[in-house]
Amino acid sequence: MSPSIELIARYYDAFNRGDWEAMLDCLTDDVAHDINQGHRESGRDTFRSFLQRMKRCYREQLHDIVPMVSADGNRAAAEYVVHGQYLADDEGLPPARGQRYVLPGGAFFEIRDGRMARISNYYNLQDWIAQVSGD
């Protein structure tokens, strides 16, 4: 297994365990995080704050994770299916009432010195909103 595939596996294994510190260990100090249909945040401490918001608002597990890596190992992607529950209201989104959802998603990574230097997450926000709104 390539080091980049191992890194992605370690990152998502930590995510599924809710081990935020192990996730943060996979990142560079200056990691760029592109939030789905949102803005870019930078830095490991900012990512830590993002994870705290995720922990408060969502309970998620990723299934069927398929990582892909470029020949040089510097770029990677992963496709997965999110199985989640919306626990608490998140700013700008519908009210939370414990709604469950299943949603395909993916991420792109830039890898530098054995750590993730960029994470760009993607999923269909309108599909998620429809699922938690009961539409």
**What single-letter DSSP state applies at residue 25?**
T
Residue carrying structure tokens 């191992």: 6
Per-residue pLDDT of the chain (135 residues), as tens digits, is: 799 999 999 999 999 999 999 999 999 999 999 998 888 999 999 999 999 999 999 999 999 999 999 999 999 999 999 999 999 999 999 999 999 999 999 999 999 999 999 999 999 999 999 999 986
Instruction: Of 49, 48, 38, 36, give the one whose Cα is nearest residue 105.
Output: 36
What is residue 134's predicted lDDT score, i.e. its pLDDT?
81
What is residue 1's predicted lDDT score, i.e. its pLDDT?
72
The fold of the 3-133 domain, in CATH, is Nuclear Transport Factor 2; Chain: A, (3.10.450)
What is residue 55's predicted lDDT score, i.e. its pLDDT?
94
